[in-house]
Every structure is written in structure tokens, then in C-alpha cells.
Amino acid sequence: MPDDMPELLGLTRAITPLRMRGMTAMLGRIKRKVAASHAQA
């Protein structure tokens, strides 16, 4: 998933900046966990 996906979907206009930061942090954590699990396999 590209890092700018929320912007591409127009979410930056619909969601407050605080919620965007939280969502970006959650997506980053998920991406790191997926990458780590693939590295172990």
C-alpha cells in the first residue's frame, strides 16, 4: 500500500489531522509487522 493512499482516496479532506496521524501510525505499524513476518518466513 502506498504511503499516500489516504490522500489518494480523499481522506485528508474528510478526516481531521489528528485522526489522520493516528491512522498513518496504525498503517505504518501494520506494514512493519507484515514485513517482519515475511522476513522470518
DSSP-assigned letters across all residues of 19-33? HHHHHHHHHHHHHHH
Q: Are 9 and 27 in contact (CB under 8 A)?
A: no
pLDDT, residue 4, reads 86
Total Cβ atoms within 10 A of residue 10: 9
How is residue 26 written as a grid cell? 496504525
- State the pLDDT at residue 37: 95
pTM of the model: 0.74
Say if residue 2's pLDDT is above 80: yes
For cell 482516496, what's the residue? Answer: 9
Give the Cα separation of 9 and 38 in Å (integer).
Answer: 27
